[in-house]
Amino acid sequence: MTKPLIDFWSSLFNPNFVPTALKVALFVGTVLLLINHGHALLQGQMSRDRWISAVLTYCVPYIVNIHGQFVSASRKKL
């Protein structure tokens, strides 16, 4: 693995990045969850596959936010 990729993976748990990423993931993830699974959630039709998808719905904005913070911090170092 290349150094930038290793640095990015370690940034997923960087205490400077995590608080903002969690807030974004909770807000954006909840909006996306309601859009994509709201009806099934309200009808009690959440299958195992839907729950896996729901968890990933929160992971994506978290990783995207961490990536943005990582890139921004990397550019400031230049």
Mean pLDDT, rounded, of the chain: 94
- According to the model, what pLDDT value does residue 25 have? 98
- According to the model, what pLDDT value does residue 5 have? 83
d(CA 28, CA 4): 27
CA separation (Å) from 28 to 31, 38, 40? 5, 14, 19
d(CA 9, CA 11): 5
d(CA 78, CA 76): 5
Mean pLDDT of 22-26: 98
- pLDDT tens-digit readout, 26-56: 999 999 999 999 999 999 999 999 999 999 9
- According to the model, what pLDDT value does residue 77 have? 81
Per domain, the residue ranges of the chain are 18-77
